[in-house]
Amino acid sequence: MGAASETKGGGFRAWLNKRMPVDQFMADQLTGYYAPKNFNIWYFFGSLALLVFVMQIVTGIFITMHYKPGEATAFNSVEYLMREVPYGWLLRTLHSTGASAFFIVVYLHMARALLYGSYKAPRELLWVIGMLIYFALMAEAFMGYVLPWGNMSFWGAQVIINIFNTIPGIGPDLVEWIRGDYAVADSTLNRFFSLHVIAMPFLLALLILLHLVALRQVGSNNPDGIEIKENLGPDGKPVDGIPFHPYYTLKDVVGVGVFLTLFAVVVFFAPTFGGLFLEKPNFEPANPMSTPEHIAPTWYFTPYYAILRAIPDQRLGALAFALSVLAFVFLPWLDRAKNKSIRYRGLASKALLGMFFIVFLVLMWLGLQPAEPVYVLMARICIPLYFAFFILLPFVSKADGNGPVPSRVTYHAH
């Protein structure tokens, strides 16, 4: 190979591929990876979650350039960013809206898994890794919310960290260790800054990579819940599969376009989203002597918060709180149906799942309301319904999800 040809496109490509399996990788992962052709709207949210992750990293990098961690400087630095840095207001708003968008997308992504049994074998590990991403994401969001050091940042941190007090034996020491002080203070803020900016993003990136590797290994599920790899054509490819590139790369671009349009509407026209994305009390600096009128975490935590608050016993409440989050992990083993998708399960399964979705949303709304008796009562009704989903699932799924399934996916050419 002469020196001249190495500088041309074709030559460079050959040079590169001799040293790194670029073309092989593209062929394996994109044009050679077959995904079911019957993906519907529920299948956009995985790629959108990845998009939002990248957006949060990029906007996060840029706002960290202006943010100053520390009790005395944090709040002021955020106002500095909003008012004095060119387009600082936009960078901040992209990041705050992105945080809420991340959870909207992730919840819809998880809902897809519940609808179509995407957590069932052989995708149990994929689901568990996904749950780890969810936990890491909640930690990341919680710590990020503390950083502006507004009054809700402070009190939200105080309340949530105090939950760990309930752990028998080690509780109080653990809480002091987490805080690095006798109350949420400068030390807490600074360590959360480090974790939020570096440690958790690295962990999230690793988990997301593992999630994609696990997905690649087993292949995507689909709305009909049938395994396309069990029906191969004469070319060795699934008859109901299509190459990821160009079909799903192009389809996902449309999904990105729609998402970004809606995202832009919020960012530019309703950035606080009625106090849900940027909460009112957080526009006052942290004040250890003045608790906001009603403390609530950001909306994406409120279903679990409603459960915590409704139980009069502190330890039991914390336990229920933990279980309500952890319960999801066990779904692959709780669900004993033969059929994956809700399409091929009976009315009981549909009712149970529908009830769960509704209860989840009601609990989310309840967690945002003040701690008044009527809301606590409603939460106390919802809690047994919430757990009933997980408890009844083994029985309902076993009874309900064994009917016939088609051999080919449901697809209409368009």
82 binds another protein (CB under 8 A): yes
- Considering only 25-33, 105-113, 282-290, 312-320, which stretch makes contact with another protein by CB under 8 A? 282-290
351 binds another protein (CB under 8 A): yes
**82 contacts: CB under 8 Å, gap ≥ 6:** 88, 89, 92
Closest contact distance (angstroms) between CB of 143 and another protein is: 22
d(CA 240, CA 230): 10
- Choosing from 267, 295, 311, 396, the residue that interacts with another protein (CB under 8 A) is 267
**299 contacts: CB under 8 Å, gap ≥ 6:** 100, 103, 276, 364, 367, 368
- Choosing from 354, 391, 398, 403, the residue that interacts with another protein (CB under 8 A) is 354
390 versus 411: smaller Cβ distance to another protein:
411
Closest contact distance (angstroms) between CB of 410 and another protein is: 9
- Choosing from 64, 190, 369, 402, the residue that interacts with another protein (CB under 8 A) is 369
172 versus 406: smaller Cβ distance to another protein:
406
- Choosing from 5, 23, 28, 87, the residue that interacts with another protein (CB under 8 A) is 87
Q: Which of residues 245-264 bind another protein (CB under 8 A)?
A: 246-247, 250-251, 253-254, 256-258, 260-261, 264
- Considering only 60-68, 296-304, 309-317, 390-398, which stretch makes contact with another protein by CB under 8 A? 60-68
**404 contacts: CB under 8 Å, gap ≥ 6:** 344
Closest contact distance (angstroms) between CB of 104 and another protein is: 18
Dihedral over alpha carbons 225, 229, 233, 234 (to 10 degrees): -170
384 binds another protein (CB under 8 A): no
Q: Which of residues 40-59 bind another protein (CB under 8 A)?
A: 58
241 versus 332: smaller Cβ distance to another protein:
241
Closest contact distance (angstroms) between CB of 411 and another protein is: 8
Q: Which of residues 136-165 bind another protein (CB under 8 A)?
A: none
- Considering only 117-125, 127-135, 297-305, 371-379, which stretch makes contact with another protein by CB under 8 A? 371-379
Q: Which of residues 185-244 bind another protein (CB under 8 A)?
A: 233-234, 239-240, 242
323 versus 378: smaller Cβ distance to another protein:
378
Size of site (CB under 8 A) for another protein: 66
Asked if 297 and 139 touch (Cβ cutoff 8 Å), the reply is no
Contact code string over 101-140 relative to another protein, x by CB under 8 A: ----------------------------------------
Q: Which residue has the tokens 């399960």?
A: 345
- Choosing from 46, 69, 201, 281, the residue that interacts with another protein (CB under 8 A) is 281
Contacts with another protein by CB under 8 A lie at 37, 58, 62, 65-66, 76, 79-80, 82-91, 233-234, 239-240, 242, 246-247, 250-251, 253-254, 256-258, 260-261, 264-265, 267-269, 271-272, 280-284, 347, 351, 354-355, 358, 362, 369-370, 372, 374-375, 377-378, 381, 385, 406, 408, 411, 413-414
